[in-house]
Each structure stands twice: as structure tokens, then as C-alpha cells.
């Protein structure tokens, strides 16, 4: 009887397998360079295509050249794991990456799409990672795309060349360029990736005419740069900038001479010497020299004007902008040069940094008590690091564009790392949200980070922030009927309203904007 049952069960199983095709965990798409095969997310709702090459490897003779179209491949390319990350090094304790994935061959992007899009043309989010243009990767856990894709969009993240590999100017490089330019290779990578999205995203169900770019920190600088550049401004329909803004551009001739001198001092007399060196030798030359010498360049190609001038002329991308920064980007110690919370120290440093405006600055920033010194020093550290540049971008776009501008202040205090052996009985929470702490919240990815005990309030804030961001990506407007109303900022209002994103998210007046205006008019350089 048991034997008969087994035979019958086997027949039923065989018939079932023939009549119903097996469910596969893989999915394929044909893009302009060939067929790729991705994977389906664990929840079965999102297709993921990871490590798609969007340009030829920038190695050998292609080192410090504009990105080139990838060579088509035969057969099926497995795109189920993240690609290599750009060359970089751990210059600070907070820098963390997988050294086994470092490579000059780093021009890869990732795509997430809802599994059943039908004939829809979904809006597209293209995110650019931060890291000071020095470090970072598009595969960072906080920016994993599944949660955003489940909001009804196509999500793209990417790698681009960093540090000396992405921002090295040299007279020989300018000479060999058909555009007479050098230095902005990382930005050219970003623009090339955008063009790849324009050409291929329809295959994934995305709308090539509905692309919002977003980024945090240096990713936000990149968003601003893509808005300002004549090479990319017409490819985008919306922008989100988080904790990053206007940065200075080094004139090409100056940048090229600095690059030449730095190379010669390191023993590289010619471009041939530089291209024959290993990637490890180049990164060593970079970190042993002056890293701050390599940055974005006013090259008359990627940029034809300094960024403020571009905006003042109304020549930037005329698109809706959602922009904001955090309430405590840097700790007070960054301004006070240590934990020296005295009135005397605050006044001494302020007079050194603002010799012509010290009296007015000391009036604007209360500093009689320890608590006042702490708050004012924190505010000034944050302004000098991020706030002034971000405010400048906000102010320039609202005054030189007819498109809506939405501004936020992110204030939710982040919980401490549960693995840092913190005595919670004596723990003092920071005075606000620090740099980059909002990223996982805005992406709806708190559940992926096991280093923190996120509370119900944290998840509430994440839900609100992600909803605002996803609404903006889909419509150019962050509002819906279920969220606190967030009006666009008027172009000329001296005290505009700002959405304060916190446990109690609410619209508040930006009553301290006079500080930004004063420091900007005083000509204080952004310390970035």
C-alpha cells in the first residue's frame, strides 16, 4: 500500500511540475550592451540588477579620460552581486569599505524595479553617494533600493571615480582632451551614467523623461553640479539635495599646474609615467601628498561658469528642488578646537575666523553660558561645514527659477550604537541630528541596520521622510493628504517656512536665516 502511494505521489508530482513552470529567482533584461540577469528580492516584490557595467573600465590608457561606451558582451551577464568600488583609502576612523572590492575598474551601477510594472512608465530615482568625493560606494547598505522601489519607482545607484582618479588635472591631460579640459572625471562618470539611464531605463519600466537625481553630502554637491553643468542639466526633471551645497571650483590652469607639480614631486615626470603606475602606487602618491589639491575644476566644459554665477544667470536646470540639512551637522568641538566650552575660547576663535565682523558675529551667536557656547559653537561648526553652502544653493535656486523649492531641517536625534558599550544612565544625547544620520531614514532602511536600537519614533520619522521624498520623486511635490502640508518656499520671503522633520514633524519659520545671509555677504569662505 505504501509502495503504491509513493508511485501515485511521484506521478502527481511529475504532472504538477510539467503543468506549472517552476518559479525562478532570476530575471533577465536586454539592455543596449547585452542581456543581463538579476535576482528577485526576498519578499518577491522587486527585481535587482547589481553591478551593471555602464562604461569601459577606466584603466591603462583610459585612466584620466572621459568614460567610454562599454563593449557589448555575448550571452548572459550575471548581475546579481555589486561590482567593484572605486579606489580609495581609509583616511578617517569612520571610513569603512571592503578592501577586496577596490579597483580602478569601478564604473558599475545598480537597478531596482517593482516586479510587476505592466505597461507603466515609472519615475526614476538616480542616487549619487557621498563621501567628500574621496570615498564611498553605490552599494552602501543605507541606500539599498528595495524599499524605495516598493514605493513605485525605478531606483538606480552608481559608482564613480573618486579622489585623484576622479579629480586630477594636468596640462598633458588638458592637451590630449578634445575639449581642452581635465580634472572632472568623476562628474563625467555621473553624467555618463545618467545618459545610460536615459538610454536603457525604459527596459526596466522606467520613464526616461522622469528622472530625479538625489544625493547626500558630496552626493548632494554632485546633484548641484549636475544641475549646473550644460552637459547634464537637460537630462533631469527633479533634484534632492541633502546636506551639501555650493563649493568652489578651482580654475583649470591652476588645478593643472598643481597636479603637475604634485606628480613631479612624487617622481612622475610625464603622463606616461602616471599611466604606467599601478593603482596602488597612484593612491599612495595621493594620500602622501595634499589630497585637498584635487577637486572639482572650472574647466569650461563640465562647468562653463562658477556655480553661483550659473544660477544667478538662470542657466541651471529649471526643475523642482527639495533641499535640506541636519540640525547638528558637526559637533561644537569642531569649532572650539576641542571640548573647551568657555566664553573666552568662543570669543577668541570667532575673532580669529571673522576679524572684520567679529563684533556682529558675537551678537548673533549667544555665548554667555556654557550651554550657549555649546549651542552657538555647534551652529557655527555646522554652518561652516555644510549649512552655508546648502543655504546658498537653496537661496540661488528659489530666486532664479520659477520651479518650486521645498526646504527641510532634519532634527531627529539618532540613537547611539548599541555595540559601543555606552552607559545609558550617564549618556547625553547630542543636541541634534548629525551629518548623514538621516540617510537610512529617508530610504526606509532602518530595518537593515542592526547596530542601533531604533524606536517606534524612529520608524515613524522614517515613514514620514520616505513618504515626502517618494512623493517628490513621483510628482515633483512632496505632499499628500496624509502628511503635514509642506508648501513651496516663496522666492523673496526674508523668513521662509521650513519643514522640521522630527518626532513631531511640523512647519516652522526659518528664523535664523539672517545668520546665513550675514556670513554670505561678509564673504566668509565655506570651510569645505
Q: What is the CATH number of the domain that holds 470?
A: 3.40.50.1820
Domain count, the chain: 2
Identify whether 9 is part of a domain.
no
Alpha carbon distance 85, 189 (integer Å): 13
Can you give the pLDDT at residue 523? Answer: 65
Alpha carbon distance 57, 107 (integer Å): 7
| CA nearest neighbour of 460 among 409, 412, 494, 418 | 412
- Alpha helices (H) along 169-276: 171-176, 185-200, 218-228, 252-265, 271-276
209 and 76 co-located in one domain: yes
147 and 282 co-located in one domain: yes
Q: Is 146 within 8 Å of 41 (Cβ atoms)?
A: yes
437 and 512 co-located in one domain: yes
Residues 6 or more apart whose Cβ sits within 8 Å of residue 179: 299, 301
Q: Would you call 412 exposed, middle or buried from its count of C-beta atoms within 10 A (0-12, 13-18, 19+)?
A: buried
374 and 306 co-located in one domain: no
170 and 93 co-located in one domain: yes
88 and 198 co-located in one domain: yes
Identify whether 75 is part of a domain.
yes
Can you give the pLDDT at residue 175? Answer: 97
Alpha carbon distance 145, 39 (integer Å): 13
Q: Which of 272, 297, 319 is the last residue of a domain?
A: 319
Enumerate helices (H) and strands (E) in the chain, giving the number of each: 18, 15
Phi, psi of 492 (to 5 degrees): -120, 5
Cα distances (angstroms) measured from residue 99 to each of 102, 140, 356, 455, 525: 5, 14, 47, 33, 35
Identify whether 282 is part of a domain.
yes
C-alpha cell at 158: 552608481
Alpha carbon distance 399, 397 (integer Å): 5
Q: Which of 319, 352, 372 is the last residue of a domain?
A: 319
What's the DSSP call for residue 136?
-
What's the DSSP call for residue 264?
H
Alpha carbon distance 499, 512 (integer Å): 14
300 and 336 co-located in one domain: no
Q: Is 501 within 8 Å of 462 (Cβ atoms)?
A: no
Can you give the pLDDT at residue 106? Answer: 98
- Residues in the chain, total: 528
Which portions of the chain are predicted below pLDDT 50?
A: 1-23, 524-528
Alpha carbon distance 28, 108 (integer Å): 17
Q: Are β-strands 34-40 and 46-53 bridged in parallel, bridged antiparallel, or unpaired?
A: antiparallel
User: Which range of residues forms the domain containing residue 423?
Assistant: 328-404+412-521
Q: Which of 319, 342, 370 is the last residue of a domain?
A: 319
Find residue 323's DSSP bridge partners: 241, 407
Can you give the pLDDT at residue 293? Answer: 76
289 and 396 co-located in one domain: no
Find residue 298's DSSP bridge partners: 251
Helix (H) or strand (E) holding 484: none
271 and 384 co-located in one domain: no
184 and 252 co-located in one domain: yes
249 and 346 co-located in one domain: no
Find residue 409's DSSP bridge partners: 325, 500
| CA nearest neighbour of 237 among 216, 206, 215, 209 | 209
| CA nearest neighbour of 505 among 472, 469, 462, 476 | 462
Identify whether 233 is part of a domain.
yes
What's the DSSP call for residue 277?
S
Identify whether 526 is part of a domain.
no
Identify whether 37 is part of a domain.
no
C-alpha cell at 63: 585612466
Q: Is 92 within 8 Å of 124 (Cβ atoms)?
A: no
Identify whether 29 is part of a domain.
no
Residues 6 or more apart whose Cβ sits within 8 Å of residue 16: none
Helix (H) or strand (E) holding 67: none
Task: List, as one string, the DSSP characters of 212-235.
Answer: EEEEETHHHHHHHHHHH-TTTGGG
Identify whether 504 is part of a domain.
yes
The 3-state DSSP class for residue 96 equals coil
Alpha carbon distance 122, 475 (integer Å): 11
C-alpha cell at 421: 558599550
Cα distances (angstroms) measured from residue 400 to each of 94, 321, 330, 395, 427: 38, 12, 30, 9, 46
Can you give the pLDDT at residue 91? Answer: 84
257 and 338 co-located in one domain: no
Alpha carbon distance 5, 143 (integer Å): 52
Q: Which of 33, 139, 182, 217 is catalytic?
A: 217
Q: Is 272 a catalytic residue?
A: no
Amino acid at each position: 500500500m505504501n509502495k503504491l502511494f509513493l508511485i501515485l505521489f511521484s506521478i502527481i508530482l511529475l504532472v504538477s511540475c510539467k503543468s506549472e513552470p517552476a518559479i525562478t529567482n532570476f530575471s533577465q533584461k536586454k539592455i543596449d550592451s547585452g542581456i543581463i540577469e538579476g535576482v528577485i528580492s526576498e519578499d518577491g516584490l522587486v527585481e535587482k540588477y547589481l553591478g551593471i557595467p555602464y562604461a569601459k573600465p577606466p584603466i591603462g590608457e583610459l585612466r584620466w579620460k572621459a568614460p567610454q561606451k562599454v563593449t557589448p558582451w555575448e550571452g548572459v551577464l550575471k548581475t546579481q552581486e555589486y561590482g567593484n568600488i572605486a579606489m580609495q583609502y581609509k583616511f578617517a576612523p569612520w571610513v569603512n569599505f571592503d578592501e577586496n572590492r577596490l579597483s580602478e575598474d569601478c564604473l558599475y551601477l545598480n537597478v531596482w524595479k517593482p516586479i510587476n510594472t505592466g505597461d507603466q512608465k515609472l519615475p526614476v530615482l538616480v542616487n549619487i553617494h557621498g563621501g567628500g568625493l574621496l570615498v564611498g560606494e553605490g552599494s552602501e547598505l543605507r541606500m539599498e533600493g528595495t524599499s524605495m522601489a516598493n514605493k513605485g519607482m525605478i531606483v538606480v545607484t552608481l559608482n564613480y571615480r573618486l579622489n585623484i582618479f576622479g579629480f586630477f588635472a594636468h596640462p598633458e591631460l588638458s592637451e590630449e582632451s578634445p575639449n581642452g579640459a581635465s580634472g572632472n572625471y568623476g562628474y563625467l562618470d555621473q553624467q555618463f551614467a545618467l545618459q545610460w539611464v536615459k538610454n536603457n531605463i525604459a527596459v526596466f519600466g522606467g520613464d526616461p523623461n522622469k528622472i530625479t537625481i538625489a544625493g547626500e553630502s558630496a552626493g548632494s554637491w554632485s546633484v548641484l553640479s549636475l544641475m549646473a553643468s550644460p552637459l547634464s542639466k537637460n537630462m533631469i526633471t527633479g533634484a534632492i539635495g541633502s546636506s551639501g551645497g555650493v563649493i568652489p571650483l578651482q580654475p583649470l590652469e591652476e588645478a593643472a599646474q598643481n597636479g603637475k607639480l604634485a606628480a613631479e614631486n612624487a617622481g612622475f615626470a610625464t603622463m606616461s609615467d602616471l599611466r604606467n603606475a599601478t593603482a596602488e602606487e597612484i593612491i599612495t602618491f595621493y594620500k602622501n601628498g595634499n589630497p585637498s589639491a584635487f577637486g572639482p575644476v572650472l574647466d569650461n566644459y563640465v562647468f562653463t561658469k562658477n556655480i553661483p554665477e550659473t544660477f544667478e544667470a538662470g542657466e541651471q536646470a529649471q526643475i523642482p528642488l527639495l533641499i535640506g540639512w541636519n540640525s547638528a551637522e558637526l559637533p561644537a568641538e569642531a569649532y572650539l578646537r576641542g571640548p573647551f566650552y568657555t566664553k573666552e575660547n568662543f570669543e577668541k576663535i570667532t575673532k580669529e575666523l571673522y576679524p572684520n565682523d567679529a563684533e556682529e558675529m558675537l551678537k548673533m551667536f549667544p555665548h554667555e553660558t556654557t550651554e550657549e557656547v555649546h549651542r552657538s559653537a555647534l551652529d557655527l561648526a555646522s554652518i561652516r561645514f555644510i549649512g552655508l553652502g546648502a543655504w546658498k544653493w537653496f537661496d540661488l535656486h528659489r530666486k532664479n527659477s520659477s520651479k518650486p523649492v521645498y526646504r527641510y531641517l532634519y532634527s531627529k536625534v539618532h540613537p547611539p550604537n548599541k555595540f559601543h558599550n555606552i552607559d545609558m544612565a550617564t549618556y547625553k544625547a547630542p543636541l541634534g541630528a548629525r551629518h548623514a544620520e538621516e540617510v537610512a531614514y529617508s530610504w526606509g532602511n532602518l530595518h537593515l541596520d542592526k547596530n542601533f536600537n531604533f524606536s517606534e519614533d524612529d520608524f515613524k520619522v522614517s515613514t514620514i521622510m520616505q513618504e515626502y521624498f517618494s512623493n517628490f520623486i513621483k510628482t515633483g511635490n512632496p505632499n499628500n493628504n496624509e502628511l503635514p502640508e509642506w508648501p513651496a518656499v516663496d522666492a523673496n520671503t526674508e523668513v521662509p517656512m521650513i519643514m522640521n522633520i522630527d518626532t513631531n514633524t511640523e512647519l516652522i519659520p526659518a528664523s535664523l536665516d539672517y545668520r546665513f545671509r550675514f556670513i554670505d555677504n561678509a564673504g566668509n569662505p565655506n570651510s569645505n
